[in-house]
Structure 1
Amino acid sequence: MPRVRHSDFADPERIALPQHAVLPDYRDGGLFALIRQLRDYLDGRPWQPPGAPAASRVDTGPRKLVFILIDGLGDMFLQRTGTNGALLAHRTGRLTSVFPSTTASAVTTTMTGLAPARHGLTGWFIRDRRFGGVIAPLPTMRRDRSPIRAPLTVPRLFSYRTLFQRRKHPSVFVSPRDLAFSPYSSRHSRGADTVAYKGLQGMIDAIVETIAASGTGRMLVHAYYPTFDGLSHAYGCNSNEVITHFGRIDAAFNQLIERLRGSNTDIVLTADHGFIDSPPECAMDLDTLPGLHGMLTAPLFGERRATFCAVRQGADRDFEQMARECLAGKATVSRSADLIGFGLFGPGKPHPRLQERVGSHALLMETGWTLRDHVPGEQEHAMIGVHGGLSADEMWIPLVEARC
């Protein structure tokens, strides 16, 4: 079990990471840096992918920029599966996701330019007692699927500015019809025009039509495609269903390049996270660990691969000892405050409720392992493909670029 030593938190000996963990890069080698470059583009600087020398920034006129996020498309999957395809041919490198490596955290970073430490969405589930305890912020409901009815829920839950507000150049947000005008999407696309589409071909058509209608000035098209993620959860990340759909995405990307040729447009494509599969024998249930369950004051939150726990006051050491014993080889345990201090959630002034949203302790799963619990009324979701952890397949995402 690798231990991380760092001088900026109180007790570095408490930090334990899973084997072969890939840490998020919040400097030049991660998704966070890529979104900073999108922000710079909107503020008038030449488009420049992260890691490229500053001296190579040459303004060749008002080029347009298309940013495409394929939810769940990991870099290691692309390298295994994309042989002879357009995406792999245009791959220029790889980036790390943020932590946790999950949609709620990473997509919010792409819509705001903020690290998870600042925007505070630290997993599909967060704990925020203003709204009833453990909630799912993206669909704005509690774990038991009851709606959140607190006054001004959306602006209080998402109280930060977006990537698109107060910028020199315009943006268009291209999103599936069933998501484009949800409370989450509407709040996070403020400052951009929204174009809704249906299906993969619909996304390509929407991007091409938006570029064609945009005139001669700069513009960012920010497009999101979720279907690959859903198929990976349902069938497994190396299933025939996923590989077949990847082929459709690859062909659509090639079509987009051809249709935008000569339009003075740069395309950059990446993902929010990758995937691993969790076999049934590695899917743990908290009910089978009554000793740990009894020390918690709330249901689990975060992700199945990066689980946050609210341990009752005075039970910290007992919880840590028991977790190390019963989860040996399956998960590591650390105090969440130490992970914040280590910088795992990224830079910037922490969200005022960050500590509450990551609990007192974090259980970080070894490759393949997951942990979940149950809440009355909650809809059960059996998942083969999972993400949220620190394995290479989850953390590395591709950087794909084309110049049209």
Structure 2
Amino acid sequence: MSITEILRARHDGPGLLDLLGRIEASLNPDAAAHAGALAGIDPALGPDTHVVLWLIDGFAEDYRRHTPLMQADHHATLETVFPSTTATAITSILTGRHPAHHGLLGWNTRLAEPARTLTVLMAEERGADDQPARLDHRELAARVQPDRIIDRLGCPSTFIGPKWIGHAPYNRMMSEGAGFVGFDGISDLPARVAAHVRAHPGPHFTYVYWSELDHLGHEYGPGSPEVERHLKQLDLAYTATCAQLAGEDAVLLTTADHGMRPVERRLDLREAPAVQDCLRHRLTGEPRAALAHVREGREARFEAAVAQAFGDDIALLPREAWMASDTPAPTLGPGPEHPELHARAGDYLLLPAADAYLVDPPADDEGPFFRGVHGGLSAEERRIPLFLRSLANSR
């Protein structure tokens, strides 16, 4: 199957946004939520339920073989959004909106107004001088203008995460008005979650976040002993959380933002000056799904330079080939579209070969070095598990 065929294919199973739609519809029956099909989940949800959504960053579908205790609660395999990456997927989770709607298209997103490149999770932007400037949570919110799901639920909400994340601008932007509970490490998580749920009967929405698995996958690779050891820790933490919450009128939904695949080759755009000479600014998007904004009139030169520098290692798709809205499954999801969507998407999508990733770092940064990556279109990057435990029935 060609890349264009993959882009246009309809995924037969449920997607990440179907899960968020079911949560929103259960906690606020009057909401005009996208409540797509997700078989068997509705009996566990209800208007008076405390819904706990545990997001384990980078929990790939293949990781289930290392978590036998969690595997007993496996409910479905979901497909995450594209780009299959944290900045895009978590924003979709916390807004309940597709990337086409919220407009964040990867680790870096080019904003048309102001003309800057935003690294949203770092709350950092770079202008024409390519120098980084930090944003506080209010400035970040002014850039993103998130349509937050917690504002539509009609019930209290709480964010639970590592203590260091509590004051991060992105977290503050998304959680302002909700409570925040910090914890020290994975062994501390079950008791914190259980104490919170017991103290706050439903209806209530609690979002729990854990990031270490993603870091290990990037640094050591998804098949590494380091990842496998951490998965065993997560398996025990999940079981402990369920045990401490047994009998509560709550449901624990555990999923991920994206998967992970191994890579062997790092493609560096700094080694292709003819390509760089055609760009208005550095690539945005993701190392596995880069977006190029090309200088006017240099499209043919850009295509030739990419072919000369990278050959078959880079698949180059013009914007109209991958963003067509009349396909059965638009790549960035259905609208309504963000008003800057097409400007942010640039002129071309660059998709590296299966074993490679592409970097274009600024002068003050050598860029990432990965053994595991995500962001692209492969099943390893897009397929994620959903675990479901109805705690009222688990005493």
Question: Could you state the TM-score of these two structures normalised by the residue count of structure 2?
Answer: 0.88
The answer to which of 134-143 and 295-304 deviates more is 134-143
Q: Which residue of 2 aligns with 1:11?
A: none
Q: Does 1:141 align with 2:124?
A: yes
Post-superposition shift, 1:129?
4.9
Equivalence map 1:323-334=2 (5 Å): 323-324=306-307, 326-334=309-317
Post-superposition shift, 1:22?
9.8
Distance in structure 2 (CA, Å) of the matches to 1:149 and 1:225: 23
Post-superposition shift, 1:218?
1.7
* 1:223 partner amino acid: V
* 2:110 partner amino acid: R
Q: Secondary structure at the match of 2:206?
A: strand
Distance in structure 2 (CA, Å) of the matches to 1:32 and 1:123: 17
Aligned match for 2:52, one of 55, 63, 66: 66
Post-superposition shift, 1:365?
2.1
Distance 1:24 1:373, change over 3 A: farther
* 2:340 partner amino acid: R
Distance 1:23 1:136, change over 3 A: farther
The answer to which of 229-238 and 133-142 deviates more is 133-142
Distance 1:284 1:180, change over 3 A: same
Contact residue 44 and residue 169 of structure 1 kept, 8 A: no
Post-superposition shift, 1:61?
7.3
* 2:244 partner amino acid: R
Post-superposition shift, 1:359?
1.3
Aligned match for 1:234, one of 198, 219, 223: 219
Distance 1:50 1:210, change over 3 A: farther
Contact residue 111 and residue 162 of structure 1 kept, 8 A: yes
Distance in structure 2 (CA, Å) of the matches to 1:382 and 1:32: 30
* 1:390 partner amino acid: L
* 2:261 partner amino acid: I
Q: Which runs of 5+ in 1 are unaligned?
A: 6-16
Q: CA RMSD in A?
A: 2.7
Q: Which residue of 2 aligns with 1:155?
A: 141
Distance in structure 1 (CA, Å) of the matches to 2:360 and 2:13: 37
* 1:168 partner amino acid: G
Distance 1:150 1:111, change over 3 A: closer
The answer to which of 188-197 and 177-186 deviates more is 188-197
Q: Which residue of 2 aligns with 1:360?
A: 347
Q: Does 1:4 align with 2:4?
A: yes
Distance in structure 1 (CA, Å) of the matches to 2:21 and 2:115: 34
* 1:365 partner amino acid: P
Contact residue 331 and residue 366 of structure 1 kept, 8 A: yes
* 2:86 partner amino acid: T
Q: Which residue of 1 aligns with 2:389?
A: 402
Q: Deviations over 1:73-127 (max 9, x none)?
A: 0112324x33xx2111211220001000000000001101011111111000111
Q: Which residue of 1 aligns with 2:166?
A: 180
Post-superposition shift, 1:44?
4.3
Q: Secondary structure at the match of 1:201?
A: coil
Distance in structure 1 (CA, Å) of the matches to 2:161 and 2:111: 28
Percentage of identical aligned residues: 28
* 1:187 partner amino acid: M
Post-superposition shift, 1:247?
0.4
* 1:30 partner amino acid: G
Q: Which runs of 5+ in 2 are unaligned?
A: none
Contact residue 131 and residue 148 of structure 1 kept, 8 A: no
Q: Does 1:393 align with 2:376?
A: no
Q: Does 1:213 align with 2:199?
A: yes
Distance in structure 1 (CA, Å) of the matches to 2:125 and 2:158: 31
Q: Which residue of 2 aligns with 1:119?
A: 102
Question: Could you state the TM-score of these two structures normalised by the residue count of structure 1?
Answer: 0.86
Q: Which residue of 1 aligns with 2:287?
A: 304
Distance in structure 1 (CA, Å) of the matches to 2:363 and 2:86: 25
Q: Which residue of 1 aligns with 2:267?
A: 284
Distance 1:276 1:146, change over 3 A: same
Distance 1:206 1:336, change over 3 A: farther
Distance in structure 2 (CA, Å) of the matches to 1:99 and 1:307: 12
Post-superposition shift, 1:379?
5.4
